[in-house]
Structures are given as structure tokens and as C-alpha cells.
Amino acid sequence: MRRRGARLLTSGKLPPDVLEHCLAKIPRQDRRVVLWPGVGEDAAAIEFGENLLVATTDPITFAADLIGWYAVHINANDVAACGAAPRWFMATILLPDGAEEALAEGIFDQILRACAELNIALIGGHTEITPQVARPVIVGCMLGEVSREALMRTGGARPGDVLLITKGIAVEGSAILAREAGEALRARGISEETLRAARELLFSPGISVVPEARVLVGVGGVTAMHDPTEGGLATGLAEMARAGGHGLRVKQETIPILPECREICAALDLDPMGLIASGCLLATVAPNQTGPALAELERAGISAAVIGQVCSREEGLILDSPSGVRPLPRFERDEVARYFAGG
């Protein structure tokens, strides 16, 4: 039997069992904390006057292009998935030795641009040049606020709820590959038109889920929201199920895969289900509120689809595919990380 701690970890998120073991050590004595850390819960919520203060932190490690812009939007997404309005942003920016001054200024400009897009204030952070990184790394921290009644939890779903996804997969993963692996994709026959369209996915349909989260908060019967990131849709679904102690039954044919994603993944032999999926939002809705939720999203110009249903924990994570029913695939690391690692 392997002793705890002997496992060698690969790039990407900590395995859920390791993370769960670490999080279980946290003392939970502060009564003002309403939402504590948990697998799949990407933000904390704290009593703060009449409202709750929602806080999250996330690094940007895959992308080099537009890294400051990414950092704001990715962190804002986690706050929005809690039903909160993102308000204040801080960033730790790590640059490699020898970085040009223009790089630092460009990253600041990207952060300010993204903050302006979402009406967020940049309130502080830290900058450092260090030999410990070979390329820029940003760790962001986003703060937001929400009323107690509007707080959403990743684990809030109930058996029988309907599972929705907005936009499709995988906005971020496709854009990263088009921007960072363009030469390899051209060598595999991907056209300039497809690469250009994939790069623009960041802006249309867009990486931000703040608009759809805002719409869904106003719809009665929404029980949970989650922003799938590293590990793609499959990991996001597993996190929702683990956080809520339930199962999920997902119909593979109903999952909207963006055409650029499908083409890029086929060229690089990657699975869209495991590709970093920021840009889509998962939500569970009471069956009688599914129609209104879809109608409100459509009215806001946001595409959405029903992809499954919440089931009991005993039923597990199930994928209904054309070839039959099978367990939902698992990804030990994101497909983008696997590609860049040469695996």
C-alpha cells in the first residue's frame, strides 16, 4: 500500500482526494464565514455588514498572451458563479529576469482594460522580477458582494434538477491553443480562418460568464452555478457532483462543442471534454424553471443548452453516449497542459 505523500503529482490541479484531505485540516471556528473551502467551491463568503463579501483567488499559468486580461476575467467568473457582483481586484505579477519594461506596462494596461469592462476597481497587489519563473505569472484575487439570499454554491443542486450549460466548450482552451500553438496547428492543416476565429473566442462569445450569471441570479429556481476551468467540462461536472454529494447524468450529444474547438482538438488528438473551459457556465435549475431560465438567457443574447440532470449519488457520474452508457471521463490534468508537456 502506497503511503500518503508518496504520489508524484503532475501539472494542473491537485487530485481531488489530496485537496479534500488538505482542506479537512482547516479549523472552521470563525462564525462569520458562510461558505468555507471545499472541492469545487471556488470562492469564500464572509458576513460583512448587510451583505456577504465573496473572495476568490486564481493564477494564470497557461497563457502568455493577454495574461493580465485573463486574470481579471477568470477571477471575476468565480465570484459571479457565487451569484455575487465582482467589485475589487488585486494581482501579484511575477516577471522573469530580463523582462522588458514594456511587458510590465502592457500587463498593467490589460488588467485596467478588463477592470473597466466589468466596472471593477484595481485596488492593489504586488510586482516582482524573479528567476523562479520563465514566463509571466499572475495570481489574482477578486472580491465581490452578494446578499445572503442570492448566494449560490457549487454544491447546491438537488436530485431532479436540470443541468444547463451556456455558450459551449471550450472557449479558453481553444483560444490558448490557437494563440500559443499556432505553428503546430498550421502544420496539421488548420486554416488561418479557423485560427483567427479561435483566437477571437475570448471576445465572442467571450470568456466572461458574468453576464449569464447575472441573468440566472434573477431567475427563480436556480440551485447551483459553477465555472469549469482546468480539467474542462468533465472536471467541472465532477466538482459539482462532489460538492453537492449527488450524481449527474449527462447526454453527450447535447453538449455544445464549438466548431473551432472540435477542429483544433481533432488536429492535436485532444478531448474537448478535458480542455480548460472558462467561458461557459454550468447551472442547475428546478425542472419547472428550466423554460424561464433558457428564455431569459436567450433574451440576453446568450446561448444555452440542457445537457443532463442531477441524480442520486449512488447513480454516479454517467455519460449517455451514442455507443452506450459509460462513466463520465476523468482527466488527471487538463488537455492543454498535456499537450504542452508533450504527452
Per-residue pLDDT of 70-95, as tens digits, reads 999 999 999 999 999 999 999 999 99
Contact 190, 267 (CB under 8 A): yes
Residues 183 and 315 in one domain: yes
Is 206 within the bounds of a domain? Answer: yes
Give the C-alpha distances (Å, rounded to integers) separating 241 from 56, 133, 209. Answer: 20, 35, 20
pLDDT digits (tens, 9 = 90+) for 133-167: 999 999 999 999 999 999 999 999 999 999 999 99
Residues 21 and 126 in one domain: yes
**DSSP3 helix / strand / coil % (the chain, rounded to 5):** 40, 25, 35
In CATH, what number is assigned to the domain containing residue 144?
Answer: 3.30.1330.10
Q: Give percent above pLDDT 70 in the chain.
A: 97
Kindly report whether the peptide bond that precedes residue 205 is cis, defined as omega within 30 degrees of 0. yes
Residues 145 and 223 in one domain: no
Domain-terminating residue out of 150, 183, 213 = 150
C-alpha cell at 116: 473597466
Q: Residue 288 sits in which domain range?
A: 162-340
Domain-terminating residue out of 150, 174, 192 = 150
pLDDT digits (tens, 9 = 90+) for 59-69: 988 767 789 99
In CATH, what number is assigned to the domain containing residue 230?
Answer: 3.90.650.10
Residues 21 and 121 in one domain: yes
pLDDT for 1 equals 44
Average pLDDT of the residues in 317-341: 92
Residues 138 and 226 in one domain: no
Contact 145, 111 (CB under 8 A): no
Q: In what order do the strands lie in the sheet with 162-166?
A: 222-226, 282-285, 162-166, 304-311, 247-251, 317-321, 324-327
Average pLDDT of the residues in 314-325: 93
Residues 120 and 204 in one domain: no
- Smallest CA-to-CA distance from 283 within 214, 340, 191, 331 is with 214
Residues 121 and 205 in one domain: no
Is 1 within the bounds of a domain? Answer: no
Residues 92 and 224 in one domain: no
Is 85 within the bounds of a domain? Answer: yes
- Smallest CA-to-CA distance from 225 within 279, 304, 151 is with 151
Domain count along the chain: 2
Is 2 within the bounds of a domain? Answer: no
Contacts of 159 (CB under 8 A, 6+ apart): 246, 247, 310, 311, 312
Q: How confident is the model at residue 3 (pLDDT cuts 50, 70, 90)?
A: low
Residues 101 and 57 in one domain: yes
Q: How confident is the model at residue 303 (pLDDT cuts 50, 70, 90)?
A: very high
Domain-terminating residue out of 150, 182, 201 = 150
Dihedral sign for Cα atoms in the order 333, 257, 174, 189: positive
The Cα 43–Cα 153 span in angstroms is 9
pLDDT for 82 equals 96
Is 4 within the bounds of a domain? Answer: no
Residues 185 and 122 in one domain: no
Is 155 within the bounds of a domain? Answer: no
Q: Is 340 helix (H, G, I), strand (E, B) or coil?
A: helix
pLDDT digits (tens, 9 = 90+) for 221-266: 999 999 999 999 999 999 999 999 999 999 999 999 999 999 999 9
Is 9 within the bounds of a domain? Answer: no
Residues 145 and 171 in one domain: no
Is 6 within the bounds of a domain? Answer: no
pLDDT for 300 equals 97
Q: Is 136 helix (H, G, I), strand (E, B) or coil?
A: coil
Residues 198 and 310 in one domain: yes
Average pLDDT of the residues in 113-142: 96
Determine phi and psi for 206, rounding to 5 degrees: 105, 150
pLDDT digits (tens, 9 = 90+) for 201-218: 999 999 999 999 999 999
pLDDT digits (tens, 9 = 90+) for 8-59: 887 777 888 888 899 889 999 999 999 988 888 889 999 998 999 999 999 9
pLDDT digits (tens, 9 = 90+) for 258-283: 999 999 999 999 999 999 999 999 99
The maximal CA–CA distance of the chain, rounded, in angstroms, is 58
pLDDT for 67 equals 92
